[in-house]
Structure 1
Amino acid sequence: MKEGILGIKEVADYLKMRQQTVYRLVKQKRIPALKIGGQWKVKQQHLDKMFDKMLQDKLKEFQL
Structure 2
Amino acid sequence: MGSEEIFTVQEVSQFLKIAEKTTYRLALKGEIPGFKVGGSWRFRKAEIEKWIREQEKQCL
> 1:21 is matched with which residue?
22
Letter matched to residue 26 of structure 1:
A
Residue equivalent to 2:46: 45
**Identical residues among aligned pairs (%):** 31
Higher relative contact order (CA 8 A, sep 6+): 2
> TM-score, structure 2 length as denominator?
0.86
Q: Runs of 5+ in structure 2 lacking a partner?
A: none
Q: Deviation per CA, 1:17-36, whole angstroms, max 9, x where unpaired?
A: 11001000000100111110
Secondary structure of the structure 2 residue equivalent to 1:50:
helix
Hey, what's the Cα distance between the residues in 2 that align with 1:17 and 1:56? 20
Q: What is the identity, as a one-letter code, of the residue corresponding to 1:30?
A: E
Aligned-residue RMSD, C-alpha: 1.4
Unpaired stretches in structure 1, ≥5 consecutive residues: 60-64
* Aligned structure 1 segments of 4 or more residues deviating by more than 4 angstroms: none
* Correspondence for 1:56: 57
